[in-house]
Amino acid sequence: MESGLSEHTDPLAQIHDELLVVRCQLGEPAAFEDIVRLWSDRLLRYLERIAGRDVAEDLAQEVWVRALRSIIRLRDGTKLRAWLFGIAHNVAMDRFRARYAEEAMRAAVQDAPEPEPVTDAEARSLLLNEELGRLPLIEREALTLFHLEGLSLAELADVQAVPIGTVKSRLFRARQMLRSNMIRGDERD
């Protein structure tokens, strides 16, 4: 898995994000609907990876409730993506603190259905997905947000509320763990 250390610098995307935020803050209902349609699937996918499919939809509802209540206070609309994933991160962490032990999360991952690969490429993709799910929560979240959701290091640092150096360490550790698990998975096959 290659590292992607470049920042998210697309100015047009940032303008679109800020415009969406400003329209929401003005109270345009269509703007909220646009945000939901743009981000609903990605947030749900992130929550499924972090918290499991059985609770992801509930958590997603909570994420949108919190986003709706606090968007009026979002001062920098260009940070929309990190802000949304930050809310999702906090919602997931609140749920874990309240209801789940680490053993319950590992049990949920172990209950996931076994993949049935058809081709070598698909087999590898499914193995990657499975091994990603076996990583510890923090490392799993870091890889998911950085490589799958395309957040920059700075955005990931905002979401996890840690310095960028810590984010880099987590990503390095996560890749090492995932690489080791993938090798062991290949050897099993």
Which residues of this chain interact with another protein, rule CB under 8 A? 11-12, 15-16, 18-19, 22-27, 29, 32-33, 36-37, 40-41, 44-45, 53, 57, 60-61, 64-65, 68-69, 71-72
* Shortest separation between residue 26's beta carbon and another protein, angstroms: 5
Structure tokens at 113: 């259905």
Q: What's phi and psi for 2, nearest 5 deg? A: -80, 150
Query: Distance between CA 145 and CA 156 in Å, rounded?
Result: 7
Q: Which is nearer to another protein, 3 or 61 (CB)?
A: 61
Q: Which is nearer to another protein, 8 or 16 (CB)?
A: 16
Q: Which is nearer to another protein, 19 or 138 (CB)?
A: 19
Compute the C-alpha angle 173/167/52, nearest 5°: 75
Structure tokens at 19: 């415009």
* Sequence-distant (≥ 6) Cβ neighbours of residue 51 within 8 angstroms: 59, 92, 95, 96, 105
* Shortest separation between residue 148's beta carbon and another protein, angstroms: 12
* Shortest separation between residue 86's beta carbon and another protein, angstroms: 18
Kindly report the number of other CB atoms within 10 A of residue 68's CB atom. Answer: 13
Q: Which is nearer to another protein, 1 or 19 (CB)?
A: 19
Cα torsion at 178, 147, 87, 174 (round to 10°)?
Answer: 20
Q: Which is nearer to another protein, 70 or 180 (CB)?
A: 70
* Shortest separation between residue 81's beta carbon and another protein, angstroms: 16
* Shortest separation between residue 77's beta carbon and another protein, angstroms: 8
Query: Distance between CA 86 and CA 78 in Å, rounded?
Result: 14
